[in-house]
Chain A
Amino acid sequence: MKNNNIEPILKIENITKRFPGVLANDRICLDLYPQEIHCLLGENGAGKSTLMNIIYGLYTQDEGIIYVKGIEVEIKNPIDALRLGIGMVHQHFMLIPVMTVTENLMLGQEKTTGLKLGKLSKLDRSTVSAELQELASKYGLSVNPNAYIEDLSVGEEQRVEILKVLYKGAEILILDEPTAVLTPQETDEFFNILKLLVKQGKSIIFITHKLKEVLEIADRITVLRNGKTVGTTTPKETSMHKLAEMMVGREVLLNIEKGQPKPKEKVFEVSDLSVMDNRKINVVNGVSFFIRAGEIYGIAGVQGNGQKELVEALTGLRKAARGNVKLLGNDVTNEDARSLTLTGIAHVPEDRQKHGLVMGFSIDLNLILQTYFQSPFSNLGFINLDSIHENANQLVKKFDIRTPSIFTPVMSLSGGNQQKVIIARELNRPIQLLIVNQPTRGLDVGSIEFIHQQIIVARDKGVAVLLVSAELDEILSLSDRIGVMFNGKIVTEMNTSEADRAKLGFYMAGFSDEKMFHKE
């Protein structure tokens, strides 16, 4: 694909962007050739998002030049970017759930028909809908134009996002972590769409931190670290290990070193548990499993198959409708969060910022959120700042939380350090059961490595661990036994030694028949 005779469609030269006190982008260079998939790889905070926001016109660079089709351009806002044919699909979808696919597509450039009444004109849904279908079939992005966004699956929503960008005439697509929400099968399908897009003449910048995907889909790979370009390479010339090293700047353990599990007695037992979601629909349907001391039980599954509600029911945040839960033989069904904490359950929640942390609190307070009412942190209702600070200083050191001070608000920390605050808080008390939900979502390689190690350390100390994750690699590398959750049920259970990505993927997608699987 790299061809010196062809002019890059997008060329970035020495882009520098400073935020007060920090160099977010330091003379970054990048070029994108027509019909190329160029992966931009880097840890959180490496400067990927800043760079893309500059290209998309959300920030302006302090220095450096952007060329589109060889012409120097100034991109002041996203409208400029779109005019130049640059479109961006954000990691968090920007769709309006109560509107249809067509209506979402029209947002911002409403086509009207009939009387010209300005904002009061009649919307021309049918024309747009037809245009949409044409686009969809051209690029293999099948979607029902009249469906409401809220009824679509995540994969479909993503297609709508891409269609939105294409509809606005984008030639260059910037995709920010697009596969974070997809199953392996959906990811494969998504990659096919990307290949078709490229074939039809589009060029793609693909932002990710998943090394495997990069090697699979990229034509070329550029790695950023600490705001600088580390280098550009191709999948042929590199490997997972080399890329990881480029990203982190040191050697990384991609495969976790984990001893054989030494499971002991049953610590945790869930029987026939059913849980309703906020709409009063049963989303967990008769789930049963057990976990022994010193083993990690992984629940794999595409998000939205009841894992969230299951974990909430197990941690006292939601009432179970049926069934029971036993911890060390005692019935703890529907106990509240506080008493579960006191009986020895630790919980690393799915959404660290929403549930796990008080973002405006400093680190020292976040580290005692579960224990602030206990000695030594509290005495007759008054808090003991000395022991709170001492606790914080110890944990910051022990769990390698990178922060200028224990008084820094956690909202100023990177995602990895925020998660370390939670891990430190949850693991640093006597616990029987550790429930971790999506423990490494959105984190960089270094933090993932650290957090995985901590989970294994907990297991080896004899803690029973429940790991819920949508990342198959995480499930496979950490779990000792695996249950696959689909549609509110654990559809199969296996030892990790019997499991592989493809097998799990099929159960995750709802196939329950082994024969069907073997035929494929």
Chain B
Amino acid sequence: MDNQLNKLNPIKIIYISVIVPILAIFTALIISSVVIILSGSNPLIAYSALAEGAFGNLNNWIETILKTTPLIIGGLGVALAFRGGLFNIGVEGQIFVGSIATVIIGTTLKAPAIIHIPLTLLAGVLAGAVWAAIPGYLKARFGAHEVITTIMTNYIATRIITWSIGVNGPLRKTTSFVPETNSLLDTARLPLMISDTRLHIGIVIALILAIVVYILLFRTTLGIEIRTVGLNINAAKYCGIKVNRNIVLIMAISGGLAGLAGAIQVMGLSPYNFTAGFNVGYGFDSLAVAVLGNINPIGVVFSAFLFGAMDAGARLMQLRAKVPVDMITILQGLILMFVAANQIIRGIYRIQIQDKKADKVNLSQGWGGGSK
């Protein structure tokens, strides 16, 4: 019995975090190929073009990495909030607000790069954090559900920004015919990792953050508090954790990460400004990335990479196989659906792992209190 139970846990961990996503991706590819065939194209050509578009040459790789970077950071923000029991749908708006704060500091402040870059990044972080702390406070103080309030703050963020870069808006680049801001000063731009390419150091920041978030969640007392609040708010109160303060804090950290994702996009990519339609959708993709990554910081890195590669490869797929870019959205949607409803995957592939209930029966049998 002892052995059997000890064996169970690693199997379960592998099963949850690796096998199911892989099978979900596989199944989604199969179903998508049916859709591709129905639309009159060849799925093999489409998928090989997709792969080539993502990894075919150095520039493809760079595009994949550039698409991956904001998804990692945004996904970390979502995952951290999830661990704290909060569903931060507001990442999209927090990215916008962070981007705008970045633009303000990055275009106005005069300082050498070594000071200007960190301060500009910080501006993005703080703006996102404050913006996300508002729904956090509303939840802590009045019990307003964060799903509703973050959707609302998304709308508010979008509208304020549309106004600010619109005709006569305060941030509008006066010489431009399209809604956009001035470009950042040279001192506020992220350095490149490989010169004469678009690859900036954002991915390094993202990977470091994944480790930092992992440590924060699993190796600090704050992490214990966040996870306790997330798993059992009553137990958190019982053991004296300041639940309300934690809710605001969790939202602020989550939003700070989102704001940083926005900042890195503005500071790393030409033309180093904020344009209408800028980075739309990264916030919502971050939700998907966090779920696919099993709300684990390391898992988030992999799932962000997968989504980034698909986004990067989509254009070549469209060119070669005449499959519209939207097919990628369908594919991503299917993957996510199968991960979320992993019963379907378990059913299809007959994965026989005991569910929690059976485990409980299992354990209470052999380890029941008094029977010696």
Check if B371 sits within 8 Å of A446, measured CB to CB: yes
**B5: A residues at CB distance < 8 A:** 21, 404-405, 408
Q: How far is the CA of A402 from the CA of B5 in the complex (A)?
A: 13
Check if B231 sits within 8 Å of A44, measured CB to CB: no
B42-61 interface bits toward A, Cβ cutoff 8 Å, 1 = contact, 0 = none? 00000000000000000000
**A248: B residues at CB distance < 8 A:** 370-371
A27-52 interface bits toward B, Cβ cutoff 8 Å, 1 = contact, 0 = none? 00000000000000001111000100
Q: Is A336 an interface residue (CB 8 A)?
A: yes
**A341: B residues at CB distance < 8 A:** 239-240
B189-226 interface bits toward A, Cβ cutoff 8 Å, 1 = contact, 0 = none? 00000000000000000000000000000011111100
**B1: A residues at CB distance < 8 A:** 21, 404
Smallest CB–CB gap between A355 and chain B, Å?
A: 4
**B221: A residues at CB distance < 8 A:** 372-373, 378, 381-383
Q: How far is the CA of A365 from the CA of B358 in the complex (A)?
A: 23
**B224: A residues at CB distance < 8 A:** 365, 372, 383
**B2: A residues at CB distance < 8 A:** 404
Check if B361 sits within 8 Å of A50, measured CB to CB: yes
Check if A337 sits within 8 Å of B239, measured CB to CB: yes
**B238: A residues at CB distance < 8 A:** 315, 317, 337, 347, 349, 355-356
Q: Is A417 an interface residue (CB 8 A)?
A: yes
Check if B367 sits within 8 Å of A414, measured CB to CB: yes
Check if B365 sits within 8 Å of A43, measured CB to CB: no
Tell me which of B9, B235, B366 contacts A356 (CB under 8 A): B235
Q: Is A118 an interface residue (CB 8 A)?
A: no
Tell me which of A378, A385, A413, A446 contacts B370 (CB under 8 A): A446
CB nearest neighbor in A for B9: A407
Q: How many A-B residue pairs have CB under 8 A?
A: 168
Check if B369 sits within 8 Å of A249, measured CB to CB: no
Tell me which of A50, A381, A413 contacts B220 (CB under 8 A): A381
**B363: A residues at CB distance < 8 A:** 403-404, 408, 412-414
Q: Is A370 an interface residue (CB 8 A)?
A: yes
Q: How many residues on chain A are close to B (CB under 8 Å)?
A: 68
**A44: B residues at CB distance < 8 A:** 364, 368-369
Q: How many residues on chain B are close to A (CB under 8 Å)?
A: 42
Check if A445 sits within 8 Å of B358, measured CB to CB: no
Q: Is A24 an interface residue (CB 8 A)?
A: yes
Main secondary structure of the interface of B (DSSP, over half): helix
Residues 40-73 of A contacting B (Cβ, < 8 Å): 43-46, 50
Tell me which of B4, B356, B369 contacts A444 (CB under 8 A): B369
Q: How far is the CA of A293 from the CA of B222 in the complex (A)?
A: 35
Q: How far is the CA of A468 from the CA of B4 in the complex (A)?
A: 39
Residues 208-258 of A contacting B (Cβ, < 8 Å): 225-227, 248-250, 252
Smallest CB–CB gap between A62 and chain B, Å?
A: 13
* With contact pairs A356-B238, A381-B220, A404-B5 given, residues A19 and B354 touching in the complex (Cβ less than 8 Å): yes
Smallest CB–CB gap between A207 and chain B, Å?
A: 16
**B364: A residues at CB distance < 8 A:** 44-45, 413-415
* With contact pairs A382-B220, A405-B6, A414-B363 given, residues A360 and B370 touching in the complex (Cβ less than 8 Å): no
Q: Is A436 an interface residue (CB 8 A)?
A: no
Check if B240 sits within 8 Å of A338, measured CB to CB: yes
**B352: A residues at CB distance < 8 A:** 20
* With contact pairs A19-B362, A413-B364, A444-B368 given, residues A317 and B237 touching in the complex (Cβ less than 8 Å): yes
**A359: B residues at CB distance < 8 A:** 231-232
**A450: B residues at CB distance < 8 A:** 369-370
Q: Is A411 an interface residue (CB 8 A)?
A: yes
* With contact pairs A358-B232, A361-B227, A383-B224 given, residues A369 and B239 touching in the complex (Cβ less than 8 Å): yes
**A43: B residues at CB distance < 8 A:** 368-371
Check if B228 sits within 8 Å of A358, measured CB to CB: yes
Check if A22 sits within 8 Å of B365, measured CB to CB: yes
Q: How far is the CA of A369 from the CA of B4 in the complex (A)?
A: 29
Q: How far is the CA of A46 from the CA of B203 in the complex (A)?
A: 55
Q: Is A519 an interface residue (CB 8 A)?
A: no
Tell me which of A347, A360, A382, A416 contacts B231 (CB under 8 A): A360
CB nearest neighbor in B for A443: B369
Q: How far is the CA of A50 from the CA of B362 in the complex (A)?
A: 12
CB nearest neighbor in B for A369: B239
Q: How far is the CA of A44 from the CA of B369 in the complex (A)?
A: 8
* With contact pairs A361-B227, A382-B221 given, residues A22 and B369 touching in the complex (Cβ less than 8 Å): no
Q: How far is the CA of A407 from the CA of B5 in the complex (A)?
A: 11
Check if A19 sits within 8 Å of B240, measured CB to CB: no
CB nearest neighbor in A for B365: A22
CB nearest neighbor in A for B223: A383
**B360: A residues at CB distance < 8 A:** 411-412
Q: Is B234 an interface residue (CB 8 A)?
A: yes
Q: How far is the CA of A338 from the CA of B240 in the complex (A)?
A: 4
Residues 229-253 of B contacting A (Cβ, < 8 Å): 231-232, 234-235, 237-241
**B326: A residues at CB distance < 8 A:** none
Tell me which of A336, A405, A414 contacts B368 (CB under 8 A): A414
* With contact pairs A20-B362, A45-B364, A381-B222 given, residues A355 and B235 touching in the complex (Cβ less than 8 Å): yes
Smallest CB–CB gap between B228 and chain A, Å?
A: 6
**A280: B residues at CB distance < 8 A:** none
Q: Is A463 an interface residue (CB 8 A)?
A: no
Q: Is A316 an interface residue (CB 8 A)?
A: yes
CB nearest neighbor in A for B357: A19
Check if A445 sits within 8 Å of B240, measured CB to CB: no
Q: Is A179 an interface residue (CB 8 A)?
A: no
**A226: B residues at CB distance < 8 A:** 365, 368, 371
Which of B9, B219, B240, B362 has the most chain A CB atoms closer than 10 A to its own CB?
B240
Would you give 21 A-B contacts (Cβ < 8 Å), ordered by A? A43-B369, A225-B371, A227-B365, A252-B370, A339-B240, A340-B240, A358-B235, A360-B231, A361-B227, A361-B228, A370-B239, A378-B221, A385-B219, A402-B366, A408-B363, A411-B356, A412-B362, A420-B369, A444-B370, A446-B368, A446-B372
Closest 10 CB pairs of A and B: A446-B370, A416-B369, A338-B240, A447-B369, A402-B367, A414-B364, A45-B364, A404-B5, A45-B368, A337-B240
